Amino acid sequence: MMQVSKSVLTLAILSTITCQPSTSQPVDGTVFIPMRDGVRLATDLYVPEAGEPPYPVILIRTPYNKSWLAGYGQYYSRSGYVVAIQDVRGRWASEGHWEPFLHEGYDGFDTIEWLGTREWSTGKVGMVGGSYSGTIQFAAAVQKPPHLVTIVPNVAPAMPYHNIPREGGALALGWAVRWTDIMENARTGRELQAKLERSIVEDWSEPLAGLPVIELDRTVVGHEVSYFRDWIHHRPGDDYWEPVSYLSALEEVEIPVFLQSGWFDPGTRGARLAFRRLVRGGNPHVRLVLGPWAHGDRGTRYLNGVDMGAAAERDLMAEYRRWFDFWLTTDARDAPNAPGVELYVMGSNHWLSGVRYPLEGTSFRPLYLAGSPGGDAHGRLEWDEPVGLDAFDTFTYDPGEPTPSFHAALKRGTLDEYRARVDTGSDVLVYESEPLDAPLDIVGPIEARLYASSSAKDTDWTATLYGLTSTGDVRVLGLTFGITRARYRDSLATPSLLEPGTVYPFVIDLGHTAVTVQAGERLRLEIASAAFPEFSRNLNTGGHNELETDWVPAHQRVYRDSGRASQLLLPIIERR
């Protein structure tokens, strides 16, 4: 069989794309853009009322119905852009078979090159969009389409191992089932919005309790869903995930990138990891803005009715537009006059800026896990390193009654119920600091480093961090939570089961935040082995947790002595 080089193949694809009929003036309405395999993707064009061609182009690709995003087309077209809003493959008006994420890199490439080679186009194409529409910008950018000039991925989760569909090796069960139900059963934009809002406030513990997990598509969605089952059958590291494993490839991306997320955005880890990769590769034009916001592109000062401070109010849409104005309408010889990193510090309600992240002047300080001097149920978090020997705490994790998720309770507004369950249960270790003598600024990524053993061949370790006010009320610090599946402690590609009773080091990524913990407040760290229903339970057998129905309890030990000093590692910025 004749071999064809990648460069020859790319030229052939470009030739196919650029030979399409072209007109000198774009027309408002729907066009069908051909992909390299003949599938056509429905794309709505919004054309400026003023000015003459050629125009720069802004592209938004969505699985949620292009008509639902008409406001974005009108907004950017008023600023002189042709805006193309496209239904991705297999969704709504587009042709093809719907397989989430898998085709987005090449489909994005082909769409960009079609738009960039129209007679009415300047040849400069930018992309914008959030969540799924943000993730697939990365997938397109790593393909390096010649006409792609910049991307603005906001609230874009890290695929496929750090947010969705897996995190720390564990299936993000709550997201996977809720999102699959929405994608399969919402037939209009209004239905989609309604199902999304209900999915956040509903209690999913009972609907997702059934085993095996792979059958939950039948019980919740109503039918078997091939891609949901693919996420289960294809474990981390296998070839199935290659089309969406873009993080390492971001080191080769040279175009300007504007990243935006919020401290209460489930995909906020994606912004941090993308920034790290882009900067590591030497990209000089990366901007990162993180505020006290949730999953969206509205920089409001109010979050679920809580006033986050006047400085939190930002017109993010206008900031995106100014970014496009610079990179798509000028020669872009110099970067816009804006800091590379902007972080909003909750509690003290001000912005910090710098050129790298973590910010300059950040020091990482450990808070060590310690026992309670008075024999209380809760342990302590202490700044001093432990000096004792053979000290540990124990708990039992029973998959039949999995520990609930803090962040599921946060979304539903049931934190009081959650606290009561944790404080009266025997499956969570709790460690609290003494009340702070002075305000503490925690700004950056957070880790829990545990030395632990289990009676099981495999298990999970979870860590949740939040604050307590002087009156004992919960002080939410952001989405400061993480999970690690033990078999993936060293490598996602080559899992390794545990030797029961052997002590291993585990690192749990608790995300990142920027918050001032006030004097008189305390920090509280919870260690457990489940966060249900947000994450699929580890059945502790060493088998396939989503295909099996049998489980065994796991007897867990977390060590806190001089040779095995389990700790919470905090990013601290000294007060100026």
Could you tell me where the DSSP H helices lie in 53-159?
A: 70-77, 104-116, 132-141
pLDDT of residue 9: 32
pLDDT in tens, 485-522: 999 999 999 999 999 999 999 999 999 999 999 999 99
- pTM, two decimals, is 0.94
Question: What one-character-per-residue DSSP string does 322-349 give?
Answer: HHHHHHHHS---S--SS-SEEEEEBTTT
Q: What percent of the chain has pLDDT over 70?
A: 94
pLDDT in tens, 31-69: 999 999 999 999 999 999 999 999 999 999 999 999 999
Q: Which two tokens stand for residue 94?
A: 């587009």
- The H or E element spanning position 176 is helix 173-185
Question: pLDDT higher for 85 or 388?
Answer: 85
For residue 138, pLDDT beyond 50 = yes
Distance between alpha carbon 301 and the CA centroid of its chain, in Å?
A: 22
Q: How many CB atoms neighbour CB 9 within 10 A?
A: 11
For residue 5, pLDDT beyond 80 = no
Q: What is the dihedral sign for C-alpha 45, 49, 50, 53?
A: positive
Q: How far apart are CA 64 and CA 338, in angstroms?
A: 32
Distance between alpha carbon 102 and the CA centroid of its chain, in Å?
A: 18
Residue written as tokens 């890199």?
105
∠ Cα 52 56 60 (to 5°): 125
For residue 190, pLDDT beyond 90 = no
Q: What is the mean pLDDT of residues 369-395?
A: 89
Q: Which two tokens stand for residue 307?
A: 């006033």
Residue written as tokens 């496009």?
324
pLDDT of residue 188: 84
Among 138, 126, 90, smallest CA distance to 250 is for: 138
42 strand-pairing partners:
32
For residue 438, pLDDT beyond 90 = yes
468 strand-pairing partners:
474, 522
Q: How far apart are CA 523 and CA 362, in angstroms?
A: 19
Among 553, 538, 533, smallest CA distance to 398 is for: 553
Judge contact between 555 and 454, C-beta under 8 A: yes
Question: pLDDT higher for 389 or 107?
Answer: 107
For residue 12, pLDDT beyond 60 = no
Q: How far apart are CA 536 and CA 214, in angstroms?
A: 11
Domains and CATH numbers, the chain: 6-169+236-354 (3.40.50.1820), 170-235 (no CATH), 362-573 (2.60.120.260)
Q: How confident is the model at residue 575 (pLDDT cuts 50, 70, 90)?
A: confident
pLDDT in tens, 301-359: 999 899 999 999 999 999 999 999 999 998 776 666 667 999 999 999 999 999 999 99
pLDDT in tens, 238-280: 899 998 899 999 999 999 999 999 999 999 999 999 999 999 9
Q: How confident is the model at residue 25 (pLDDT cuts 50, 70, 90)?
A: confident
pLDDT in tens, 139-177: 999 999 999 999 999 999 998 999 999 999 999 999 999
Q: How confident is the model at residue 437 (pLDDT cuts 50, 70, 90)?
A: very high
Judge contact between 184 and 194, C-beta under 8 A: no
Strand order in the sheet with 55-62: 29-34, 40-46, 82-87, 55-62, 121-130, 148-154, 257-262, 286-291, 341-345, 350-354
pLDDT of residue 23: 56
pLDDT in tens, 211-241: 999 999 999 999 999 999 999 999 988 899 9
